[in-house]
């Protein structure tokens, strides 16, 4: 590893490390689920993360014609608050009406909107700060579900500092673009397998130990980077390590997706879109690192060799912190 490469990785690791550790799995949108009856009555479920409450609370915005039929019931489970109530919006139905969530921009979060319409359709989309409301269409598109979940997966991988540090470590560890392609592909295959199995209900494991193990995979990778060139089985077979650790990361992705939920009649499409979004974000990260490295190689400067080891120490320090933090949270 050249000194310039070490300098580049130090900068990138420092930027990722500057993010708060709580952002390791930031996919935690609110959920607004509405069940419409043929008479126009609505069963409303509104769930939001407790950490997002504050001076600018999120607020459900129903059509003006809607009126409440019951007082909201409030329950708290872990770090999420759930509110349920009934409303009446008239016999005309929700088609053509607007539904939204106010306060998304102030709270810097998203909201998953899931509508079970009286005509049997399921409409699902993600409300964001730049589009906090949806006008319910007369007919939904076949690609709406995979598109929305693709965006969720893309956001999750790009804002998850632990997963990005692991990808960064793979790029640092593997030399030669052919081996890197095979290693990244193996990581993709690993987390795709367990993500699918977990979402489809084949595998069900508690999230606490999984999060600890994910942090441990980053720590092991950092130890390999700091190994001083000694050859280990990971150095010889990086694709095997990437596939094995990818299985654990896939369970972490599944835990994040479980917080959002998937539509029962379009689970395969939602899973495909979410996984594709993760892959696109991962490839974007790898491409950005390789592009910056290629640019820096053109600069005729040299840095001390000790700089090359700093990324391993930064990544390892963050991994140790996450192991301790998640172990305490689990206990």
The three-state secondary structure class of 238 is helix
Q: Is 78 left (phi over 0), alpha (psi -120 to 50) or beta?
A: left
- Quick one: pLDDT band at residue 51, thresholds 50, 70, 90? low
Say what the pLDDT of residue 175 is: 83
Q: What is the pLDDT of residues 61-109, one digit of tens each?
A: 998 888 888 888 888 877 788 999 999 887 777 878 889 999 888 887 8
Q: Report strand pairing: 30-36 vs 111-116.
A: parallel
Residue 104: what are its φ and ψ, rounded to 5°? Answer: -65, -40
pLDDT in tens, 273-287: 888 988 899 889 889
Q: Is the pLDDT of residue 298 over 70?
A: yes
| Average pLDDT estimate for 240-250 | 93
Q: What percent of the chain has pLDDT over 70?
A: 82
pLDDT at 17: 44
Confidence of residue 290 (pLDDT cuts 50, 70, 90): confident
Please report, to the nearest 10 degrees, the dihedral formed by the alpha carbons of residues 5, 6, 8, 11 taken in order: 170
For the segment 22-51, the average pLDDT, to the nearest whole number, is 77
Model confidence at 14, in pLDDT bands (50, 70, 90)? Answer: very low
Helix, strand, coil percentages (3-state) for the chain, rounded to 5, are 55, 15, 25
Average pLDDT of the chain?
Answer: 80
HSE-CB of 280 using CA atoms within 13 angstroms: 15
Give which of 313, 307, 315 is closest to 3, Cα–Cα.
307
Residue with the bigger pLDDT between 81 and 305: it is 81
Q: Where in the chain are all domains bearing CATH 2.60.40?
A: 30-141
pLDDT range class, residue 118, cuts 50, 70, 90: confident
pLDDT of residue 187: 93
Residue 162: is its pLDDT beyond 90? Answer: no
| Residue 225 scores a pLDDT above 60 | yes
More confident residue, 147 or 247: 247
pLDDT score of 214: 93
- 305 falls in which pLDDT band (50, 70, 90)? low
Beta-carbon count within 10 A of 284 CB: 13
3-state secondary structure 173-231: HCCCHHHHHHHHHHHHHHHHHHHHHHHCCCCCCCHHHHHHHHHHHHHHHHHHHCCCCCC
Helix (H, G, I), strand (E, B), or coil: what is residue 278?
helix
* Architecture of the CATH domain 30-141: Sandwich (2.60)
Q: How many residues does the chain have?
A: 331
Q: Does the structure show a pLDDT above 60 at 312?
A: yes
């Amino acid at each position: 590893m050249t000194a310039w490469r070490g300098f580049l990785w130090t900068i990138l690791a420092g930027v990722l490390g500057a993010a708060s550790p709580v952002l390791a799995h930031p996919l935690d949108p609110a959920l607004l689920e509405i069940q419409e009856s043929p008479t126009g009555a609505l069963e409303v479920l509104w769930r939001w993360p407790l950490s997002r409450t504050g001076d600018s609370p999120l607020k459900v915005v129903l059509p003006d014609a809607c009126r409440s039929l019951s007082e909201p019931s409030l329950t708290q489970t872990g770090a999420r608050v759930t509110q349920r109530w009934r409303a009446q919006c008239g016999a005309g139905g929700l088609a053509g009406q607007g539904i939204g969530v106010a306060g998304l921009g102030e709270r810097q979060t998203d909201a998953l909107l899931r509508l079970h319409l009286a005509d049997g359709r399921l409409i699902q989309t993600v409300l964001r700060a730049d589009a906090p409301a949806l006008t319910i269409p007369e007919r939904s598109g076949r690609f709406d579900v995979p598109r929305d979940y693709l965006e969720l997966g893309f956001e999750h991988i790009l804002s998850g500092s632990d997963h990005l540090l692991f990808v960064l470590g793979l790029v640092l560890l593997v030399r030669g673009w052919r081996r890197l392609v095979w290693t990244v592909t193996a990581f993709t295959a690993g987390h795709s397998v367990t993500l699918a199995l977990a979402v489809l209900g084949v595998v069900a494991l508690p999230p606490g130990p999984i999060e600890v193990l994910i942090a441990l995979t980053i720590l092991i990778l950092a130890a390999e980077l700091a190994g001083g060139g000694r050859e280990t089985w990971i150095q010889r077979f990086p694709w095997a390590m990437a596939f094995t650790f990818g299985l654990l990361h896939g369970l972490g992705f599944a835990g994040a997706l479980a917080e959002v939920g998937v539509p029962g009649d379009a689970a395969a499409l939602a899973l495909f879109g979410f996984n594709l979004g993760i892959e696109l974000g991962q490839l974007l990260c790898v491409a950005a690192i390789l592009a910056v490295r290629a640019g820096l190689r053109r600069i005729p400067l040299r840095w001390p060799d000790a700089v090359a080891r700093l990324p391993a120490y930064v990544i390892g320090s963050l991994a140790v912190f996450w192991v301790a933090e998640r172990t305490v949270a689990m206990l």
